[in-house]
Structure 1
Amino acid sequence: MSPPTQADIAREVVQTIANGQATSVFARFAPELLQEYTAVQLLQAWREQTDELGRLIAIGDPEQKLVSGTEALVVPVIHRKGIHRVTVVFEDESSISGLWLSDISSEQDTDQTATCPSYVDQSAFDERSVSVPGEGKDLPGTLAVPRGTESPPGVVLVHGSGPADRDGRVGSRYPLRDIGLGLASHGIATLRYDKRTFVEQLQPRETTIERVVVDDAVSALDRLRAEGVSPCGVVGHSLGGMLAPRIASEDGNTDAICCLAANARPLSELVLSQIGALVPDDGQTRTLSPIRDTFERAQNGSMRPDEQLFGAPVTFWKSLRGYDACEAAAALSVPMLFVQGREDRQVRADVEFEQWRAALGDRRNVTFSLYEGLDHLLTPASDRETTQVSEAVLEETADWLLGCDP
């Protein structure tokens, strides 16, 4: 029998801690790590991470990531109401030198100036801070306006899932900043802003898709028009792309929408698909059935509104019930652009992109572009050193926005 791999060991350690047998994993710890935890501390830290996530269902396949320049394994731990991730660093083939009961690979800081894409021409636009009015607190934002034109075309940038700043920061990547400044370099005004859930903590009962995303995006469009920008469109990434048709419909005056790495299926189905990708084929039914049941209970009113389900209260999931992104897009007459990376593991191109194309592919004013080798953030999937949005994607988006006929 071949010796266990580091991935095998990482999963075994996580399972052992989940079983409440913390002392059993200490044999795997390097001396310096033994000084960081007692059995009681380790189990207490585990409970703090998992108590609100419900019953543990499965432990997925570890993913290799970089943590401060060091290779690490991030182990997904799937519960009935959510996922948390454990980061494991090995000193050698089997000895563990680092253990964090969270995914710390996305927490590394970086210098934004140093990573600004080369395709950004700072001399081509002026950038200033603005506020986007909204219910509750106004949202801090950044407006980039091309120089030398009185009424440029423009877009509002809409974030993906979760609390996000105006740059859409994920670790050392700033996709909304790259897109915003890249488009401004091509003569397109852009407004990006901190997401509602990044600025303030909403009460569970008010955490709906309208309050979290749609209402603020419509307000941002009005704010952009107040600057003399015309025509105005929406560029949404991931969840923001899925909701772009709804935003355009609510606004009533949107001239174009661009959906980047956007899911076509309901968000709950996308989450189930993402979880399915984490577990072996023979564990799919056992893992997904209880989670699917939980989503159904959330959306039919069988759960308390303030209960948490995959990072959001039940109210949020109920507010998405009945929204069909393809149907909403089909009801629009404005030009639309759909862009996807072939290597996107969060929003699979062979499912989501093709569903958009099946629904809208016969429209003359709808464009579809699939890029080989790009991931969910539209950066090269095989190159960890390149963190900027692909220049080819940026240029196509700019050319399309400048050339489309509202």
Structure 2
Amino acid sequence: MMKFTCYLLTLISLGFSLHACSQSFEGQWSGTLEVQGIKLPTVFEFTYNGQWEGTMQSPMQSKQKMPFTKIVANGDSIHAELSTFGIRYAGKLSADKQAITGKVKQGNMLADLNLSKGALKALNRPQEVKEPVAYKQQEVSFENALDKVKLSGTLTMPSEPGNYPAVVLLSGSGPQDRNSSMFGHEPFKVIADYLTKQGMMVLRYDDRGIGKSTGDFSKATTTDFGKDALAALEFLRKQGSVNGNKVGFIGHSEGGLIASILAGQGVSGLNFIVDLAGPALPMDSLMLLQNEAVMRAQGQELSAKDRQLIKKNYAIAKGPLPADKAFEAIRKNMSTVPGSQNASFGDELAVLVTPWYRHFLKIDPTPFIKKIKIPVFAAFGGKDVQVPAAANMESLSDHLPKNPKNNINIYPNLNHLFQTAKTGSHLEYADLEESFNPQVMKDMAQWILAL
């Protein structure tokens, strides 16, 4: 479900404010920020031309270099701040001016971020799409008129005139750009490249409030993202080269959930869906399975007491209490857990009462799955710890109406991101070189073209 990615993006998307009076900090600096067991390479670049300028980049999250806006430096010390996110960095330059030892602070979170002079070792991403590409691609924008949100994206299509199947890519949870960039991977760009070369039109777009899209991501729910998906579908169907009988969604994780819900609602103009690790269970049940699977991948087991605490937390979050009262009730429920009353632990619990999470926990996709009348291609990773394959495939198979064109498979060695995995743990996503499994791309392409 990638919710942890949402939190890490909030932390790592630091538009650090920098201003200083010493040129000792000029150049490129690289280091690693470790958060919740996940290591995130970080790069700063500083230049001085009468005033300080520079950028910050998290290569595992995005290729975007974010401009610095303010810095205060005094001798061998540097203090940087991003007030929008409540983030502060304090560092000290080494005697040989080849390293900065420092810490990042956000709220009650304090983490080491030590930087070395020089560039970061390049990530090996062999599936990276190289320019120029052998097809047409254009920057596009369209509007979700219901919410007055303008969505921006990229449309790719074969160069030759024709009448092509067309798909919209729907991203998983957390703030995603059009390429679904994370950990140096760009799986949606890889998928779009492959499918376009197979003779399809592909639309991928930045989530609302992300990249070039307008709107407020932090206040949006799964239902809101569903309305954005419908706007994308409507826009795609208006393109001249589209085969009007072959237009569908390809959704990953929450995107797969959205595709299933909209298919079950019988939305006009949707001819098929491809569901990649989309939940097929009530969300509170799924999240409990996710907790168990994540722990198991790390060699631990969730105790019966932990299960009960988690279930009660979900029940409170789903309930009618206002957010502040729900948070208090959850804190009380967790009172027997050591450290649970600390402010830093409270920040983690607060996620449970955000608008997205409370709405998400109430979703049960099974009534919608029962009403799907269009063809479905569904794929699950056998090592997925976020949407465990066996339980979700069973629920989907049991509830989906029979259709000879349906195709449901488990790929035994793949994780939630459809990478060939060792354990399936989210902690290894960044270390794997595969961005998206070629066999899955081949299978879904052949299935779409054969419809």
What range describes the TM-score normalised by the shorter chain of this pair? 0.5 to 0.7
Q: Cα deviation per residue 1:81-125 (whole Å; 9 max; x = unaligned)?
A: xxxxxxxxxxxxxxxx99985799xxx99689974259x9931x2
Instruction: State the distance in 2 between where 1:103 and 1:185 align.
Output: 44
Further displaced range: 184-193 or 351-360: 351-360
Instruction: State the distance in 2 between where 1:200 and 1:288 align.
Output: 39
Task: Give unmatched runs, 5+ long, in structure 1.
Answer: 1-48, 50-61, 70-96
Matching of residues 72-111 of structure 1 within 5 Å? none
State yes or no: 1:360 paired with 2:400.
yes
Aligned to 2:365: 325
State yes or no: 1:144 paired with 2:156.
yes
1:254 CA drift (Å): 0.3
1:201 CA drift (Å): 6.3
Aligned to 1:272: 288
* Equivalent residue for 1:262, pick from 251, 271, 278: 278
Matching of residues 210-221 of structure 1 within 5 Å? 210-211=223-224, 213-221=225-233
1:368 CA drift (Å): 1.0
Further displaced range: 213-222 or 109-118: 109-118
Instruction: State the distance in 2 between where 1:191 and 1:67 align.
Output: 29
SS of the residue corresponding to residue 268 of structure 1 reads: helix
Task: Give unmatched runs, 5+ long, in structure 2.
Answer: 1-34, 43-100, 105-109, 114-119, 328-346, 423-427
SS of the residue corresponding to residue 230 of structure 2 reads: helix
Provide the aligned C-alpha RMSD in A: 3.7
Instruction: State the distance in 2 between where 1:265 and 1:180 align.
Output: 28
- Distance change in 2, residues 1:386/1:357 (3 Å): same
Q: Name the amino acid aligned to 2:226.
A: V
- Distance change in 2, residues 1:344/1:159 (3 Å): same
- Distance change in 2, residues 1:341/1:264 (3 Å): same
Further displaced range: 310-319 or 386-395: 310-319
Q: Cα deviation per residue 1:135-162 (whole Å; 9 max; x = unaligned)?
A: 2441110100122233211010001011
Counterpart contact for 2:179–2:187, Cα < 8 Å: yes
Matching of residues 120-199 of structure 1 within 5 Å? 122-123=133-134, 125-134=135-144, 135-198=147-210, 199=213
Counterpart contact for 2:381–2:411, Cα < 8 Å: yes
Q: How many pairs are equivalent?
A: 311
Q: Cα deviation per residue 1:265-287 (whole Å; 9 max; x = unaligned)?
A: 13333222222334477652332
SS of the residue corresponding to residue 251 of structure 1 reads: coil
State yes or no: 1:390 paired with 2:404.
no
Q: Write 1 or 2 for the structure with the bigger share of helix.
A: 1
Q: Cα deviation per residue 1:237-262 (whole Å; 9 max; x = unaligned)?
A: 01111121222326322000000011
Further displaced range: 166-175 or 355-364: 355-364
Instruction: State the distance in 1 between where 2:41 and 2:354 align.
Output: 36
State yes or no: 1:234 paired with 2:249.
yes
1:183 CA drift (Å): 0.7
SS of the residue corresponding to residue 301 of structure 1 reads: coil
1:214 CA drift (Å): 0.2
* Equivalent residue for 1:245, pick from 260, 273, 288: 260
Q: Structure 2 length as normaliser, TM-score? A: 0.60
Identity over aligned pairs, percent: 25
- Distance change in 2, residues 1:282/1:170 (3 Å): closer
Q: Structure 1 length as normaliser, TM-score? A: 0.66
Instruction: State the distance in 2 between where 1:117 and 1:385 align.
Output: 17
Q: Name the amino acid aligned to 1:207.
A: A
- Distance change in 2, residues 1:67/1:299 (3 Å): closer
Instruction: State the distance in 1 between where 2:149 and 2:239 align.
Output: 21
Counterpart contact for 2:209–2:217, Cα < 8 Å: no
Counterpart contact for 2:125–2:184, Cα < 8 Å: no
Q: Name the amino acid aligned to 1:350.
A: A
1:345 CA drift (Å): 1.8
Q: Name the amino acid aligned to 1:366.
A: N
